[in-house]
Structure 1
Amino acid sequence: MKKTTIKITIEHENLNLVGLIDQVKGLEREIVEKVIRDVEKEEVESLCGGEYERTRYQRHGSKSRSFKTSVGTLNLDLTRVRDKETGEVFTPVEEALSMPKRKVILEDVSLESIEQISKLSYRKAVETVQELSHSKLSKSTLWRRVQELEISAEPRSDADVILVDETKVHNQGEEPFNYLHLVLGYNTEEDKYSLLSAGVNDEWSEIRKELEKELDLSNVYVVCDSDREINDTFENSKGIQICHFHAVKYVDYCLWKEDAPKNFRKKMRRILKARLHTLQNSVEKFWRDEDTERLKDRIGWFREEIDQWVERAEGRDFTMAANYIRKVREKLLTFAKAALKDEYVPYTNNKEEREFRENAYRTKRIGGSWSEDGLHNVSLCQLISRLDEKLFKKIKEVYLGETGTLNYSVSLAGG
């Protein structure tokens, strides 16, 4: 391993701590340039020898290169070398440090901006990075490099509950919307969530196939809303839990769609929420005292109350709401029946909704439309950075390529 020692002499007068910190920031670029010059000297001398030595290679002038990096702009005069036998002219340090042949803006600047795009628009992301690193990156360059990212969620096998949902985002193409899907895994023993799948415009049947490469879905509970395609896709799972909050919202929509009076809608919604809340409290109490018989009685009570709710809705000819609740009644109970087996299942997919809300700040509320690749990569950057730090670190390493290691020391004058 090659080692480079850098000695820095610091001269100061009336310097305070803040001033020191502010001025030391400029050393970053100086250190990088110093290392490049040292590597170049070593590479050129290994080919051409000393000043008067005669070898197969000879020094052949220099070329100027400029790179915009996260430590500022590097302006370099790089020594060129000529091969006497072949006539080839090349720049040794470019090959030694794998300098890009055409790029002026290096990936580390793009990466800093890519880390920002999960929170900010392209324009604000490049402005923020420019303020931090003093390196300019255009909005279009950042956009292009986001499209070029190759990232995906890593399948896992340690989930016993999965949360499944999708949301729609405006599309740039002929279709009005892109559909972003999200599957989170939940390990109940470790009380830990993980990202299992995220994509754009994928069929749920294909998503299931990908999940089944790692998960046995017959042993996994699914928490979702009432989306028919999602429910049909995961019908053969261990059990489907319909999110209680989504169920209440959908009932309200059904009653509104059927022109139910406002007061009746409010009353029916309030009754359903109260019954669900009572069931939730009973399950929570069960986990404290494990009174199996009381929970069984509560489940029976809930079924009776829901049947009465359905009869009341049908009595007023609101069949859409009545048929919906009749159809999902048992799926509202899945978390309670699982508790009797000593298995924990969330009764909502709030965690997933929280992630979608973060995504909405970035993808919906800026008023823009998205390409499929752009939405996929921006959303994955955001989701992975929030849910899987190890995977995000791995993405950064792959994006920057083989970075190698550098050891250096700094000493004060006379030290």
Structure 2
Amino acid sequence: MKKTTKIEINIQHEDINLMGLISQVKGLEREIAEQVIYSVENELIEEMCGEEYERTRYQRLDSKPRTLKTSVGTLELDLKKVKDKETGEVFSPVERELNMPKGKTVLEDVSLESIEQIPKLSYRKAVKTVKELSGSDLSKSTLWRRVQELDLSAEPRSDVDVVMVDDTKVHKQGEESFNFLDLALGYNTEKEKYSLLFAGVNEEWSDIRKEIGKEVDLDNAYVVCDSDREINEAFGDAKGIQICHFHAVKYVDYCLWKEDAPKNFRKKMRRILKSRLSTLQNSVKKFWRDEDTERLKDRIGWFREEMNQWVERAEGRDFAMAANYVRKNREKFLTFAIAAIQGDYVPYTNNKEEREMRELAYRAKRIGGSWSEHGLRNVSLCQLVSRLDEKLFGKFKEVYLDEAGTLSFDVSLAGG
């Protein structure tokens, strides 16, 4: 049943400009919210208790103050109580009607505003920012507790043909030094759209692969990753594995450094590998423009020969670690080129995932904090879902605020 509440607003003003008007009218939100609550309360009291001195099942009692911190400011309410003569129960009709949370002074909408800041800011800065912007108040510890209680998860899409996987280290609470934040993104090459497949903490990649495999047909999907052995083994049954070219160059440089290669030799070998990879990338880009298959096949053959020469040069200087890495992964550097001949687009880097990891690093690694597994997972999910799936994050907000109902507004000038 729809109910109507009429509120008359009288505004006095003097020497006000437009920006002053807009700034100060924001203060009406709290006043209007309080008056609507009182209006609903009066209707309920009248329905239950009737006219004053009328005998009904419910008896009017004194009012009791209630403070609620909301996104429109702090509501200072004086709510009336009634007593059920049959059961002896004493309660506030408007608290029950509007589902006001028992024992809470901070409403979920304030938490939600701060939770939306959590992907970007620390707990302390999030509550400070929301307080400055909306005037609402929330403690750092309350926000932390409500983030721990979040029930948020990814909704993997099955229409992806490329999967990007990676992990990163984050400081951990307790004796062990690090948590490992695991991330898998899906990419639909036809729609050119990314989605979140998985985000977890300290998970085994074999288990992650099983979880992703419930939604994604990995027999028909390519995986883009770095050289991590566990990742490569877990996704070994995918349609193909493409090792990120940027990671490959970095890892080769690390291998040569680890083997005490002279600085000039290390720079030369890194430059040669980077140049050969760049030439291959350009050839694939040309292929997508003119689809000259024979030219690309020739380039693939040329690249294999160049890598063989690179390995021989490294082995000739007894740098076996670097040579073995390139020999073992040469074909995984080529996956995107071979896929192109088959008509499949595969990125040669996982740059998109690296950008997401960078955003997570701003929040989780560069604030100097240590994390629990649950807290890190929830904060990461907040960030990833809000960035990659706005629709899903919208659903989460609806659930978080519970059944909110609707309000209809009709604003007009008096006599209009």
Are the aligned partners of 1:67 and 1:74 in contact in 2 as well (CA < 8 Å)?
A: yes
Are the aligned partners of 1:118 and 1:381 in contact in 2 as well (CA < 8 Å)?
A: yes
- Structure 1 residue 23: deviation in Å? 1.5
Quote the Cα distance in structure 2 between the aligned partners of 1:217 and 1:258.
Answer: 37
Quote the Cα distance in structure 1 between the aligned partners of 2:295 and 2:25.
Answer: 68
Quote the Cα distance in structure 2 between the aligned partners of 1:345 and 1:8.
Answer: 61
Gaps of 5+ in 1: none
Aligned to 1:85: 86
- Structure 1 residue 278: deviation in Å? 0.5
Q: How many pairs align?
A: 415
Moved more, 295-304 or 46-55: 46-55
Quote the Cα distance in structure 1 between the aligned partners of 2:12 and 2:414.
Answer: 9
Amino acid at match of 1:157: S
1:145-176 CA distance string (max 9 Å, x none): 11111111111101000100000100012211
Are the aligned partners of 2:161 and 2:189 in contact in 1 as well (CA < 8 Å)?
A: yes
1:200-211 equivalences in 2 (<5 Å):
200-211=201-212
- Structure 1 residue 88: deviation in Å? 1.3
Aligned to 1:352: 353
- Structure 1 residue 408: deviation in Å? 2.8
Aligned to 2:310: 309
Aligned to 2:114: 113
Aligned to 1:40: 41
Are the aligned partners of 1:279 and 1:302 in contact in 2 as well (CA < 8 Å)?
A: yes
1:254-282 CA distance string (max 9 Å, x none): 00000111111001000000110000000
Answer yes or no: is 1:257 the counterpart of 2:258.
Answer: yes
Q: Detail structure 1 runs of 4+ shifted over 4 Å in the superposition.
A: none
| TM-score (norm: length of structure 2) | 0.98
Aligned to 1:389: 390
RMSD over aligned Cα, in angstroms?
Answer: 1.1
Are the aligned partners of 2:336 and 2:346 in contact in 1 as well (CA < 8 Å)?
A: yes
Q: Secondary structure at the match of 2:349?
A: coil
- Structure 1 residue 106: deviation in Å? 0.8
Aligned to 1:132: 133
Quote the Cα distance in structure 1 between the aligned partners of 2:298 and 2:153.
Answer: 46
Aligned to 2:22: 21
Quote the Cα distance in structure 2 between the aligned partners of 1:7 and 1:194.
Answer: 48
Are the aligned partners of 1:9 and 1:412 in contact in 2 as well (CA < 8 Å)?
A: no
1:333-366 CA distance string (max 9 Å, x none): 0000000011100000000000111111111111
Quote the Cα distance in structure 2 between the aligned partners of 1:226 and 1:387.
Answer: 25
Quote the Cα distance in structure 2 between the aligned partners of 1:112 and 1:13.
Answer: 34
Amino acid at match of 2:121: L
Answer yes or no: is 1:65 the counterpart of 2:66.
Answer: yes
Are the aligned partners of 2:186 and 2:196 in contact in 1 as well (CA < 8 Å)?
A: yes
RCO (CA 8 Å, sep 6+): is it higher in 1 or 2? Answer: 1
Aligned to 1:145: 146
Are the aligned partners of 2:156 and 2:195 in contact in 1 as well (CA < 8 Å)?
A: no
Are the aligned partners of 1:7 and 1:412 in contact in 2 as well (CA < 8 Å)?
A: no
Quote the Cα distance in structure 2 between the aligned partners of 1:78 and 1:411.
Answer: 30
1:60-109 CA distance string (max 9 Å, x none): 11111100011000011111111112221111111100001101011111
Quote the Cα distance in structure 2 between the aligned partners of 1:9 and 1:63.
Answer: 28
Q: Secondary structure at the match of 2:394?
A: helix
- Structure 1 residue 383: deviation in Å? 1.0
Aligned to 2:286: 285
Quote the Cα distance in structure 2 between the aligned partners of 1:411 and 1:7.
Answer: 11
What's the % identity of the aligned pairs? 77
Quote the Cα distance in structure 1 between the aligned partners of 2:176 and 2:283.
Answer: 46
Quote the Cα distance in structure 2 between the aligned partners of 1:156 and 1:124.
Answer: 34
Answer yes or no: is 1:363 the counterpart of 2:364.
Answer: yes
Amino acid at match of 2:251: Y
Aligned to 1:181: 182
Amino acid at match of 1:56: R
1:187-198 equivalences in 2 (<5 Å):
187-198=188-199
Q: Secondary structure at the match of 1:331?
A: helix
Q: Secondary structure at the match of 1:265?
A: helix
- Structure 1 residue 390: deviation in Å? 0.6
Are the aligned partners of 1:275 and 1:302 in contact in 2 as well (CA < 8 Å)?
A: yes
Amino acid at match of 1:351: K
Q: Secondary structure at the match of 1:167?
A: strand
- Structure 1 residue 49: deviation in Å? 1.3
- Structure 1 residue 298: deviation in Å? 0.5
Aligned to 1:103: 104
Are the aligned partners of 1:154 and 1:196 in contact in 2 as well (CA < 8 Å)?
A: yes
Aligned to 2:216: 215
1:9-28 CA distance string (max 9 Å, x none): 33333221111112101110
1:357-379 CA distance string (max 9 Å, x none): 11111111111111111111111
Quote the Cα distance in structure 2 between the aligned partners of 1:250 and 1:218.
Answer: 28
Quote the Cα distance in structure 2 between the aligned partners of 1:245 and 1:16.
Answer: 56
Moved more, 237-246 or 384-393: 384-393
Quote the Cα distance in structure 2 between the aligned partners of 1:12 and 1:141.
Answer: 39
Quote the Cα distance in structure 2 between the aligned partners of 1:14 and 1:316.
Answer: 83
Aligned to 1:229: 230
Amino acid at match of 1:121: S
Amino acid at match of 1:43: L
Moved more, 243-252 or 19-28: 19-28
Quote the Cα distance in structure 1 between the aligned partners of 2:328 and 2:391.
Answer: 42
Are the aligned partners of 1:9 and 1:411 in contact in 2 as well (CA < 8 Å)?
A: no
